[in-house]
Amino acid sequence: MLHSRTKHRGRRLRGNFDRLGDSITPTRFGSRNSFVERGDEGKVEGHNSLQIPVIGRALNRLGPKGRFLGIALIIAVGITLFWVYTERKIGADYLVADRHNPAQISLGRTLYRANCAFCHGDKLEGKPGWEEAYPRGGRPALPLNGDGTIVRLSDHDLFNVTKYGGQSFSPASYKNDMPGFEMQLSDADMWAILAYVKSTWTEDVIEEQRAATEERND
């Protein structure tokens, strides 16, 4: 009697599985078997959907043109970050203003445009009226292209003014609007800016600065 009931239960279980048909299908993930339900269109749902990367799903929604633009943007950002990192890595090895060093000049040009051009001009021309008299201060930004009094300062003077600001080297009664960049830029960054500035000078201006520096040191 017991044997008959067991066989009956076995046939009933097999019948239940037969009626399920294609609604479930065995599949293997790792070392375990599991069942995944199929949708109405025969696409596997469940575990497999979790395996699709989020970025991949996002790109699929963009279409061919959107995917191309997205990938191009990612590549462009990656190249830019790599180039900036390389320039900074190379520039960090120089704590002098070498106007013949292409890598340092390139870094300095980028930093100048981001931090200095607003006041000193895209072409280092300074602001109008800088040559007038300002006994109490407030002088507009000087030109850095070698046309003004900037050549009277040595490289170290220029570096110190860039780092600590002009007020640190002016009388208390004189208002110097030149800000310091000690908190924004590294020493190597500031030397790179000076290298870029000096790369625009003629040989006559370079010689004038050298002579003024030697005269002050005598």
pLDDT of residue 94: 59
Asked if residue 137 lies in contact with residue 176, where contact means CB atoms within 8 angstroms, the answer is yes
CATH architecture of 92-217: Orthogonal Bundle (1.10)
pLDDT of residue 105: 97
Higher pLDDT: 180 or 91? It is 180
Residue 187, classified by CB atoms within 10 Å of its CB into exposed (0-12), middle (13-18) or buried (19+), is middle
Beta strands in the chain (DSSP E): 24-29, 32-37
Asked if residue 137 lies in contact with residue 119, where contact means CB atoms within 8 angstroms, the answer is no
Torsion sign across C-alpha atoms 85, 88, 90, 92: negative
Residue 191, classified by CB atoms within 10 Å of its CB into exposed (0-12), middle (13-18) or buried (19+), is buried
Alpha helices in 37-93 (DSSP H): 47-50, 54-91
What are the tens digits of pLDDT across the range 180-193? 999 999 999 999 99
- Separation CA 68–CA 205 (nearest Å): 50
Residue 175, φ and ψ in degrees, nearest 5:
-90, 110
What are the tens digits of pLDDT across the range 118-174? 999 999 999 999 999 999 999 999 999 998 889 999 999 999 999 999 999 999 999
Structure tokens at 137: 């201060």
- Separation CA 141–CA 143 (nearest Å): 7
Higher pLDDT: 158 or 56? It is 158
Domain coordinates in residue numbering, the chain: 24-80, 92-217
Mean pLDDT of the chain: 78
Report residue 33 CA to chain centroid gap. Answer: 47
